[in-house]
Amino acid sequence: MRFTKKVREAIAGYLFTSPVTVGILLFTAWPVLQSLYYSFTKFNIIKSPQWVGTDNYDKLLHDPEFWQSLKITGIFTGISVPASLLIGFLLALLLHRNLPGIGLFRTIFYLPVVVPVVALGILWKQLYSPTYGFANKLLDMVGLPPYTWFSHPESVMPSLIIMGLWQAGGSMIIWLAGFQGIPAQLYEAAIVDGASRMRRFWTITIPMITPVIFF
C-alpha cells in the first residue's frame, strides 16, 4: 500500500513525537487524572479508595490554612514569574550579540537550569547558612549582623523568590531564540532610515517576538 507524500510526512511526524507524547500521557496526564479522581475519595494508600463526593473540597474551603496557602502561592507566583521572565529577557538582550566567546556566557547563565534539584538545594543551603553563608558575608561587609533567612516569616518569601530567579536562564534561552529569529534586514533597513536603538526595539524587536511573548 503506497501513501502520498503528505501522509508519509504525517506518519513520520507522529513517530518522531511519539516518545514525548507517550511520556506526557503516562507521566503527566495520567497522574493528574488519577489525582483528580482521588480528590473525590477517602484514600489512605493502605485501603482501597472510598468515594465521598465533594466532602474533601467542602473541608478545604472551610480550612483557614488552605486560604493562607493560596495567598502565599499567589504572592510567590505573582512576583517570581514576572521577575524571572524579565531577568531572562534582559539576559537575552545582553547576550544577543556576535562576540567572541558569547556562547560560553550563554552556557554559564543556562547551567543552573540543568543542575539537579538536590545539588541546588545544597548550594542554597550553604549560601543562606546563618554561620558561614555568602549572604551573611555580604551583610558583614556592610556592617550588619548575620541573619537566619529561613527562620523569619518576613524573609522566607524573598529568599525563595531569589532561589527561583537563579534559574532565569530557562526563559533566557526562549527569548534568545526569538531574538535570533528576527531577520537582520529589518534592522539594517531601520538603521538606513535613521531609526534610533530604542525605536528599533519598539517597532521591530517587540512586534517580531510577540509569539514568544504569548508563549
Average pLDDT of the segment spanning 89-108: 86
Please give the C-alpha separations between residue 187 and each of 76, 93, 100, 198, in angstroms, as whole numbers: 38, 15, 22, 12
Question: What is the spatial distance between Cα 167 and Cα 111, in angstroms, rounded to a whole number?
Answer: 8
Sequence-distant (≥ 6) Cβ neighbours of residue 206 within 8 angstroms = 213
Average pLDDT across the chain, whole number: 87
Task: Scan for cell 537566619, then name that residue.
Answer: 148
Residue % of the chain over a pLDDT of 90: 29
Q: Across 44-58, 116-130, 153-167, which has the greatest mean pLDDT?
A: 44-58
SS3 of 9, please?
Answer: helix
Distance, CA of 24 to chain centre? 18
Q: What DSSP line would sit under 101-143, residue for residue?
A: THHHHHHHHHHHHHS-HHHHHHHHHHHT-TTT-HHHHHHHHTT
Average pLDDT of the segment spanning 168-191: 89
- Weakest-pLDDT range from 12-26, 80-94, 134-148: 134-148
Q: What DSSP line would sit under 59-100, residue for residue?
A: HHHT-HHHHHHHHHHHHHHHHHHHHHHHHHHHHHHHH-S--T
Average pLDDT of the segment spanning 96-111: 84
State phi, psi for 152 to the nearest 5 degrees. -120, 130
* β-pairing verdict for 50-51 and 41-42: antiparallel
148 grid coordinates:
537566619
In this prediction, residue 148 has a pLDDT band, given cuts at 50, 70 and 90, of confident
Nearest residue to 190 (alpha-carbon basis) of 207, 212, 172: 207
Average pLDDT of the segment spanning 151-160: 81
Tell me: pLDDT of 67 over 70: yes
Which domains, from first to last, does the chain contain? 1-62 (no CATH), 63-180 (1.10.3720.10)
Q: 19: how many CB neighbours lie within 10 A of its CB?
A: 9
Question: What is the spatial distance between Cα 137 and Cα 188, in angstroms, rounded to a whole number?
Answer: 48
Nearest residue to 174 (alpha-carbon basis) of 113, 98, 120, 117: 113
Residue % of the chain over a pLDDT of 70: 99
The pLDDT tens digits for 13-49 are 899 999 999 999 999 999 999 999 999 999 888 888 8
Contact criterion met (CB below 8 Å) for 130 and 146: yes
Q: What integer pLDDT is reported at residue 79 of this predicted model?
A: 92
